[in-house]
Structure 1
Amino acid sequence: MAMIPRGMQVPARWRLLACGLFLMASCSIAAGADEGIVDVHALPQIEGAVEDISRPDPYSVEYRVPTRQAVTLPAVQKLLSDNGWVPYVMPLEEKSSLLKFRKGRQGLSVHFTQAPGRPDQSVVYYTTDRIYGNVPFPEGASDIVFDGTRPYLGCIAPTPLDATSDFYSSQMAAIGWQKLTPETAARWTRGLDETVPNGLRAFYAHADSKETGFYQQKPVMLTLTRRDDGRTHVDIRVAPFALPGELKADSDLAGLPRPSPTKTAMGLGSASDNKREMSAAAMAELPAVLAFYHRELAARGWHEDGSAPLAPGDEVAIKISSAEETGLLRLGRKYDFTMVSLTAQLKDSALAARAKAKKEADDKFLGDALGAAKQLITADEARRKVQAAALSDAPLNALADSKTPLPLPENAEGVNFEGGEGRLEFSSSSSVKALTAFYRASLKPAGWKEQPSVINQPNMAMMEFSKSGKSISMTVMQMGPKVNVSANGSGLVIAAAKPVEAKSRQAKVVQTKSKEPLTPDPDSALPVPTQHSSTGISSTKFPGSEQSFRTELEASIPAELGEVLAFYRTELTNRGWQEKADGAIVTAERAELAFTSPEGPAVLKLGRARDETTVSLVQRNPQAAAKADIMPKAGQARLMLGNMGPKEASLTINNQTVKIAAGAGGPQSPKGPMLDLPPGKYQYALRLPGRPARTESLTVAAGDAWGLLVGPNGDVLPLQMY
């Protein structure tokens, strides 16, 4: 930053230019000078100061000095005091590191920092303060507490009472304050109480003035009190009759009432906590604050149970109670504030009732969660059975002209082979049983030896083959209406191989026209013909909720695809659904249509399998998803993780590892970890203590929300939530 050391020699031509600029600037400054604002750039600075001129500001200045803060602070205080600046502190800010000074009707704030990277140097900041309510400081006064916004002044004058009274009589008038009489004060009050034991009191008002900066100034009360040491205590504050007599309620703090206006306020706890506290400095007289709490506490069902012992600083202490809590209200005076302290503590009976209610709620939530998990598992099993029923067990033939080292079945779809990496993936409409039989029959004659495997289920099988030092690992798993096959190993590696894609041989479509028109099943939540060979409906929602995020119908209909398509167009239109023309696909073998339903977007997919038409109808409810905070970000998918097991689990996906605490997604932690992912296919690995990692895959699309729930036995249940 740009710096100019004080005392630096400047070339003559620079001085000449500076004089010209000064003459031009002085004309405009004189025209718009504000006597209430000090020129901070003209203030004295410590010897050796280097001023920062990189950010010119007429209201603040910053300079660096070659001394530590502990040395710089008293030096600046003395420097400013020697130049007529009087130090003071703000009410309730006695421990602030910010220094405050006043000179006439000008104010100044000073603070310090250590120079960056130089503990032996410090930086001094001067900032202007505007004083809106100026009152005189007695010369030589001590213990000065001042706030120029109201104003408030508390100090000790070194002179006796009479001399101090004479000082204020002359100096208040000199800066425009006019002493009030009962007649001139009639607009505010019916009488002036000027009686003070061992002292005197007077009231003053000040008219609006552009020259002195006063605007809508409230009358003030001057109180002078004789001290035992011969000095005089001075107190100037807004006159009580100019303060609000009835206070309005501000926003609650910690669920407890707060009056308005306040200078400071803070709260600890909330209405659901066992203990809560609220404290504030109210800008009002104590009777007005007390009346506020009489009113507000009664309106909230609190009762006053008598006085409590006074603590230091208290003027009022009242015990209070409600049906569930006991509390204590303390009021006292400090400076011109009424200090408020309000605490509330749950009764033992209420604590026990809350604990019981929480346990019952937790038990209910856990029961609902386990019930929902069982329903989801049951629905998932039913859906898999429906999908498996549509898969073909018919023997498979090898696809002709395949360029992969591993034979492909004739109905392989979406083939992705990377010979350099030794990876092969594809999907098929045949069953797990048919595909495993195909590969066992194809690889054994070629000399491949199969290793025993413990995973050989109707919906998933794993196979290991070896031959001449090479190996192939295969996973055959049902994924929705298709079976996914993935293989890898050295037996698939081909040098300099390029990824290839193979197209499946289109199966011959045999469509049998139904004997009678398709009629809707009246008991189904989503339309399905009564002439179905299989059907299943599932929905996803949180325990205790009545709204589903996603409802899916799957069915198999012994009818032509065209008939089924016509049925759904008619039935969905009758339900108020509107078909969207964009992106519609209709062929002899498949159809995919998008709809807008009253609850939200929906998609109908039709296909052919085993001489029947397969149906997948999915309806989403974005309003329910957004309310439950499972709605993914635009263009992304959301993954929600839960763990019903007894031990912490960790899941790695998309190069991120997330720990899933035991019980996450349960009553103690209803919301488990969540991830937002770009659309795509992901491999994920689940790790549990003492168990080998389990690797699975998950394909997500933009707008999807999936849940991965770790079961008590370590199984992972993937569930599309939205």
Structure 2
Amino acid sequence: MTMITRGTQIPAGWRLLACGLLLLASASLPARADEGIVDVHSLPKLDGAEEDTSRSDRNTVSYRVPTAVPATRAAAKKLFAANGWVPYVRPLDENNGGLVFKKGRQGLSLTLWLGGPGQSGLDYSPTRIYSNVPFPEGAVDLVYDETRPYLGCIAPTAIEATADFYAKEMAAIGWRKLTPETAASWPNADLTASVPNGVRAFYDHPDDDSTGFYRQKPAMLTLTRRDDGRTNVDIRIAPFALATNLEAGDTAGLPEPKPYKSSSGRGNARTATRELIVAALADLPAVEAFYHREFAARGWTEEGQAPLAPGDEVALKFSSPEENGVLHLGRKYDFTMVHLTAQVKESVLAARAKAKKDADEKFMKDAEAMTKQVLAEDAVRRKAQAATLSDAPLQALAGSNTPLPVPENAQEVESGDGRLEFNSTSSVKALAAFYRAALKPAGWKEQPSVINQPSMAVMEFSKVGKSISMTLMQMGAKVNVSANGSGLRVAGAKAAPSSKSASGDQASAQAKASAPLEADPDSALPVPKQHSSTSLGTAKLPGIEVPFRRELEASVPAEIGDVLAFYRRELTKLGWQEKSEGAVTTADHVQLAFASSQGPAMLKLGRANGETSVNLVQKNTDAATKADIMPKPGQARLLLGNMGSQEAVLTINKQTIKVAAGAGGPQSPKGPMLDLPPGKYQYSLKMAGRPARNETINIAAGDAWGLMVGPTGEILPLQMY
């Protein structure tokens, strides 16, 4: 034999030879296959099978056949039975439309599915057998659980032959018959109990790599003689190996014994009825003891026996201060079946209903008081704001290319596609007079309107089949003018030439305040002392100290840059954080969003009448949520109310909503609410005996507006959040 001493240089050819021999040796030792898992790709298929490769993989075979599901199921069952596979059903799974089979230590699951008209499909997938027990040849009514020792069936042989079969086959797959000596580790084990008209034996089984067996709790085999000469077979976990002091879970607020095979619940602490259904892996006495313990721990009182339902062995009544209940216990397979129901007492339901009614009435009363407060504050604010609006006659803005003339002080003008919108610091009265004077010479005829108030006017014009609808509405310290109609798709009226220059704002913008701006200490929201006008509106429920919306309107005789610097300084002192999203900062317009400690806020600055106009709004998210006016994320909310004496019908966004008379009052349900995407909406209001009203509302994401129908049919829009 050739020897190579340590440290000797080995020729390269020898090293290659050694590597080659090593590769040959390793190639001759293939990886050991998992004998407990069947290769589904080697299994037979039904005639006409067309494999669906999109559903198949290494552990699944999927194919279609040209037969309906019932015929396919019967054919598959016959095919696999002919190949040595024994069908069974799992406990509590009797209604499953699929098929499960066992062959030795391998399991197989077949799932059937609809494959189209006159077609069906099958999926093959392996099932691991964790607890292998022998099936007698020719046995029927097999119920088997591959995850634990459980088998119920009828063997075709007499009890003696069946006992011999199990003595031989249980030993063949590694089960060991328990004796008093081998059962010593189970203190409560009783191996001597006799079975009427039958025999019983106990087994255990260690882990075994050679048989692929997984350690299980000891099993009890019971064979009983039948009148027809056959034998009932029952294998289950030995009673002495089952838990006796069960752990407690909770489903639907009801005590749930553990361990269990399945558990489901319905209801919760807020529902009138609760229900729990459990298949517990324990003997009935242990489950009954569990409920005696849990009822006492929860302060529930047992009220004696209840009538037994089919399948019951125990039925108990119980009660708590708020509920009455019934516990049903029975046996099925090796489970203790639990059915527990709890029903809220009628007296408690009545008390809950009264509490809800009282809360609703209080909410409605608070809402009515809030509405009156908001209306009163709005009237005061509008009156103060109206004082800043000019009634002076207006001239048309020279050089305007809008389809209608606009006044010389028009701001934020938008037009196109049959619409026109702008803001003005003139009054509703002055703007209405301007358009009557401008459109009448151009041949437009005004139609009568019932809405002609100091804060709002609706004007309708027509000419040769064309129409124009205009709404003039005071919005704070400005008036919003919106017009639409077929008459705006052509140049229905030309702007009259004017030599007057709209230069008042430009001239005044050159002036600066003589002193630095200082904060007014008496204002709830920051405003310069040097303001020429100011008003503060709030929206809150009675009894709630913090309003859920505050709005400051002011006019300051200072440049817009100085006012902006003032607000950035003062709001920072309050801990407000300026946000960059959507920020606009120009020479005559500022719009900035802030995050305050209470919620979102918005600052808007503009120029009007030689001064800087201020609009500062702060929202309180928590207060709005409590008031139930918070819109859904990304949407706006409309709250509809009707202070009139008859039903109102509102149509908006292709939705028609009926608002009952008095809706929003203490004696009526809460008025309808509507969540809409942000945008500008036209809406109409109809009431019996009154002309229809058409209005427009512009809503932004995160806003909540109230549309309140007044006693005389007018609509008052109020921004609530």
Task: Name the TM-score, length of structure 2 as normaliser.
Answer: 0.82
Query: 1:337-352, aligned counterparts within 5 Å?
Result: 337-352=335-350
Q: Does the aligned pair in 2 maintain the 1:386–1:554 contact within 8 Å?
A: no
Query: 1:560-639, aligned counterparts within 5 Å?
Result: 568=567, 571-577=570-576, 583=583, 585=585, 595-607=594-606, 609=608, 614-621=613-620, 630=630, 633=633, 637-639=634-636
Q: Does the aligned pair in 2 maintain the 1:432–1:477 contact within 8 Å?
A: yes
Question: How far 1:715 moved relative to its partner?
Answer: 5.4
- Aligned-partner Cα distance in 1 for 2:321–2:591: 61
Aligned to 2:12: none
Which secondary structure state, in structure 2, belongs to the residue aligned with residue 31 of structure 1?
coil
- Aligned-partner Cα distance in 2 for 1:716–1:415: 25
Q: Does the aligned pair in 2 maintain the 1:450–1:465 contact within 8 Å?
A: yes
Query: 1:619-698, aligned counterparts within 5 Å?
Result: 619-621=618-620, 630=630, 633=633, 637-645=634-642, 651-653=651-653, 657=655, 672-677=673-678, 681-686=679-684, 694-698=693-697
Bigger mean CA offset, 203-212 vs 133-142: 203-212
Question: How far 1:252 moved relative to its partner?
Answer: 1.7
- Give CA deviations for 1:325-370 in whole Å, capped at 9, x if unaligned: 2111111111111100111122232232222222212212222333
Which amino acid in structure 2 is aligned with residue 332 of structure 1?
G
Which amino acid in structure 1 is aligned with residue 139 of structure 2?
A
Which secondary structure state, in structure 2, belongs to the residue aligned with residue 71 of structure 1?
helix
Which secondary structure state, in structure 2, belongs to the residue aligned with residue 366 of structure 1?
helix
Q: Does the aligned pair in 2 maintain the 1:100–1:108 contact within 8 Å?
A: yes
Match of 1:149 among 147, 150, 167: 147
Which secondary structure state, in structure 2, belongs to the residue aligned with residue 315 of structure 1?
strand
- Aligned-partner Cα distance in 2 for 1:660–1:189: 75
C-alpha spacing 1:579/1:46, structure 2 compared with 1 (3 Å): closer
Which amino acid in structure 2 is aligned with residue 137 of structure 1?
F
Which secondary structure state, in structure 2, belongs to the residue aligned with residue 187 of structure 1?
coil
Aligned to 1:388: 386
Are positions 1:268 and 2:266 aligned together?
yes
Q: Does the aligned pair in 1 maintain the 2:458–2:472 contact within 8 Å?
A: yes
Question: How far 1:146 moved relative to its partner?
Answer: 0.5
Question: How far 1:528 moved relative to its partner?
Answer: 4.4
- Aligned-partner Cα distance in 1 for 2:246–2:335: 14
Which amino acid in structure 1 is aligned with residue 202 of structure 2?
F
C-alpha spacing 1:720/1:167, structure 2 compared with 1 (3 Å): same
Bigger mean CA offset, 56-65 vs 486-495: 486-495
Q: Does the aligned pair in 1 maintain the 2:364–2:670 contact within 8 Å?
A: no
Which amino acid in structure 2 is aligned with residue 439 of structure 1?
Y
Question: How far 1:39 moved relative to its partner?
Answer: 2.6
- Aligned-partner Cα distance in 1 for 2:224–2:438: 110
Q: Does the aligned pair in 2 maintain the 1:314–1:331 contact within 8 Å?
A: yes
Which secondary structure state, in structure 2, belongs to the residue aligned with residue 140 of structure 1?
coil
Question: How far 1:584 moved relative to its partner?
Answer: 7.3
Are positions 1:279 and 2:277 aligned together?
yes
- Aligned-partner Cα distance in 2 for 1:547–1:242: 64
Question: How far 1:436 moved relative to its partner?
Answer: 1.4
C-alpha spacing 1:102/1:465, structure 2 compared with 1 (3 Å): closer
Aligned to 1:17: none
- Aligned-partner Cα distance in 1 for 2:211–2:543: 67
Aligned to 2:314: 316
Aligned to 2:479: 483
Which amino acid in structure 1 is aligned with residue 602 of structure 2?
V
Which amino acid in structure 2 is aligned with residue 238 of structure 1?
I
Which amino acid in structure 1 is aligned with residue 359 of structure 2?
A
C-alpha spacing 1:229/1:343, structure 2 compared with 1 (3 Å): same
- Give CA deviations for 1:372-398 in whole Å, capped at 9, x if unaligned: 333343344344334323322222223
C-alpha spacing 1:516/1:505, structure 2 compared with 1 (3 Å): closer
Which secondary structure state, in structure 2, belongs to the residue aligned with residue 235 of structure 1?
strand
Q: Does the aligned pair in 1 maintain the 2:159–2:231 contact within 8 Å?
A: yes
- Aligned-partner Cα distance in 2 for 1:684–1:625: 26
Aligned to 1:243: 242
- Aligned-partner Cα distance in 1 for 2:561–2:53: 81
Bigger mean CA offset, 592-601 vs 406-415: 592-601
- Aligned-partner Cα distance in 1 for 2:342–2:391: 71
Which amino acid in structure 2 is aligned with residue 551 of structure 1?
R
Aligned to 1:13: none
Query: 1:407-426, aligned counterparts within 5 Å?
Result: 407-418=405-416, 423-426=419-422
Aligned to 1:430: 426
Which secondary structure state, in structure 2, belongs to the residue aligned with residue 538 of structure 1?
strand
Q: Does the aligned pair in 1 maintain the 2:467–2:487 contact within 8 Å?
A: yes
Aligned to 2:286: 288
- Aligned-partner Cα distance in 2 for 1:368–1:29: 85
Q: Does the aligned pair in 1 maintain the 2:519–2:526 contact within 8 Å?
A: no
Q: Does the aligned pair in 2 maintain the 1:514–1:560 contact within 8 Å?
A: no
Q: Does the aligned pair in 2 maintain the 1:266–1:278 contact within 8 Å?
A: yes
Aligned to 1:10: none
Question: How far 1:509 moved relative to its partner?
Answer: 2.5
In structure 1, list runs of 5 or more residues that go unmatched: 1-26
Are positions 1:61 and 2:96 aligned together?
no
Q: Does the aligned pair in 2 maintain the 1:391–1:609 contact within 8 Å?
A: no
Which amino acid in structure 2 is aligned with residue 434 of structure 1?
A
Question: How far 1:139 moved relative to its partner?
Answer: 1.9
Which amino acid in structure 1 is aligned with residue 356 of structure 2?
K
Which amino acid in structure 2 is aligned with residue 409 of structure 1?
P
Aligned to 1:36: 36
State the percentage of identical aligned residues.
58
- Aligned-partner Cα distance in 2 for 1:261–1:688: 64
Which amino acid in structure 2 is aligned with residue 310 of structure 1?
L
Q: Does the aligned pair in 2 maintain the 1:704–1:720 contact within 8 Å?
A: no
Query: 1:198-217, aligned counterparts within 5 Å?
Result: 198=196, 199-217=198-216
- Aligned-partner Cα distance in 2 for 1:97–1:700: 54
Which amino acid in structure 2 is aligned with residue 307 of structure 1?
Q
- Give CA deviations for 1:495-520 in whole Å, capped at 9, x if unaligned: 79999xx9954434397969998563
C-alpha spacing 1:425/1:243, structure 2 compared with 1 (3 Å): same
- Aligned-partner Cα distance in 2 for 1:130–1:670: 61
C-alpha spacing 1:251/1:647, structure 2 compared with 1 (3 Å): farther
- Aligned-partner Cα distance in 2 for 1:339–1:670: 49
Aligned to 2:85: 85
- Aligned-partner Cα distance in 2 for 1:581–1:357: 46
C-alpha spacing 1:218/1:71, structure 2 compared with 1 (3 Å): same
- Give CA deviations for 1:220-259 in whole Å, capped at 9, x if unaligned: 2222223333332221112233333222222322x32222
Q: Does the aligned pair in 2 maintain the 1:462–1:473 contact within 8 Å?
A: yes
Are positions 1:185 and 2:186 aligned together?
no
Q: CA RMSD in A?
A: 4.0
C-alpha spacing 1:692/1:270, structure 2 compared with 1 (3 Å): farther
- Aligned-partner Cα distance in 2 for 1:600–1:45: 66
- Aligned-partner Cα distance in 1 for 2:677–2:236: 58
Which amino acid in structure 2 is aligned with residue 40 of structure 1?
V
C-alpha spacing 1:175/1:496, structure 2 compared with 1 (3 Å): farther
Query: 1:518-533, aligned counterparts within 5 Å?
Result: 520-522=520-522, 524-528=523-527
Q: Does the aligned pair in 1 maintain the 2:323–2:342 contact within 8 Å?
A: yes
- Aligned-partner Cα distance in 1 for 2:557–2:547: 30
Which secondary structure state, in structure 2, belongs to the residue aligned with residue 318 of structure 1?
strand
Q: Does the aligned pair in 1 maintain the 2:389–2:427 contact within 8 Å?
A: yes
Aligned to 2:459: 463
Q: Does the aligned pair in 2 maintain the 1:512–1:611 contact within 8 Å?
A: no
Question: How far 1:648 moved relative to its partner?
Answer: 8.2
Task: Name the TM-score, length of structure 1 as normaliser.
Answer: 0.82
Question: How far 1:422 moved relative to its partner?
Answer: 5.3
Which secondary structure state, in structure 1, belongs to the residue aligned with residue 454 of structure 2?
coil
- Aligned-partner Cα distance in 1 for 2:492–2:615: 42
Bigger mean CA offset, 68-77 vs 686-695: 686-695
Q: Does the aligned pair in 2 maintain the 1:463–1:473 contact within 8 Å?
A: yes
Are positions 1:104 and 2:100 aligned together?
no
Question: How far 1:486 moved relative to its partner?
Answer: 3.0
C-alpha spacing 1:47/1:529, structure 2 compared with 1 (3 Å): closer
Bigger mean CA offset, 271-280 vs 427-436: 271-280
Q: Does the aligned pair in 2 maintain the 1:706–1:718 contact within 8 Å?
A: no
Q: Does the aligned pair in 2 maintain the 1:683–1:695 contact within 8 Å?
A: no
Q: Does the aligned pair in 1 maintain the 2:405–2:494 contact within 8 Å?
A: no
